[in-house]
Amino acid sequence: MKKLEVKVEFTVFDDVDELTQEDKELMFKAVETRKTAYAPYSKFRVGAALLLENNEIVLGSNQENASYPSGLCAERVAIYQAGAQYPSQKIKKIAISAASDQNITVTPIPPCGACRQAIAEYEVKQESEIEIFFMGETGKVVKSNSLKDLMPLLFDKSFLL
């Protein structure tokens, strides 16, 4: 028997103004896109903005459904849109902002497990890391340099062989 320790690393910024200009602009796109969320059931709005290698920005917001599981998170709306529209472009960065209609969300909101799995697929596919920035409505921003820091023991295609 042996114990394994896994080290993950995050950078925490006190607010968006501490980000580089490029990262700040991407986060502002995520904040703007949050407003397009269709979230009548949870009243929880999420916006995601992806920066691609060709400098295109692809946006997504959560889209809910009266049949709850049929809805989709902002991150997957954006990443699948990028995959469909720019199949050969690598994703450099993802910015995510989440806010509730019911109170002010100051806690940085990380992507859910299913979205992490979706982001993992694209990191593996493109063979390069994706920077992930996430925040609430306001306040601190957390950055991870790779999806692997958010989900160290990830499931990928290598297990299917």
Site string for ligand THU, 45-64 (x = CB under 6 A): -x---------------x-x
Q: Rounded to the nearest 5°, which phi and psi values hold at 141?
A: -120, 130
100: three-class secondary structure by DSSP: strand
Provide the annotated active-site residues: 75
Q: Is 112 in the site for ligand THU (CB under 6 A)?
A: yes
Return the number of the residue (47 or 92) whose C-beta is nearest ligand THU.
47
Joined tokens for residue 7: 């080290």
Q: How far is the CB of 64 from ligand THU (least distance, A)?
A: 5
Question: Which of 79, 111, 120, 142 contacts ligand THU by CB under 6 A?
Answer: 111
Confirm or reject binding of residue 73 to ligand THU (CB under 6 A): yes
Sheet strand arrangement including 131-135: 11-13, 141-144, 131-135, 91-100, 44-52, 57-61
For the bound state, the minimum distance from the C-beta of residue 80 to ligand THU, rounded and expressed in Å, comes to: 13
One-letter amino acid for residue 156 of the chain: D
Own/partner contacts of 12-18, CB < 8 Å, gap of 24 or more, are 12/108, 12/140, 12/141, 12/142, 12/143, 13/140, 13/141, 13/142, 13/143, 14/140, 15/138, 15/139, 15/140, 15/141, 16/135, 16/141, 18/141
Q: Is 99 in the site for ligand THU (CB under 6 A)?
A: no
Contact call for residue 75 and ligand THU (CB under 6 A): yes
36 part of the interface to ligand THU, by CB under 6 A: no
| Of the residues 115, 118, 132, 150, which one makes contact with ligand THU according to CB under 6 A | 115
Binding site residues, ligand THU, CB under 6 A: 39, 42, 44, 46, 62, 64, 71, 73-75, 111-112, 115
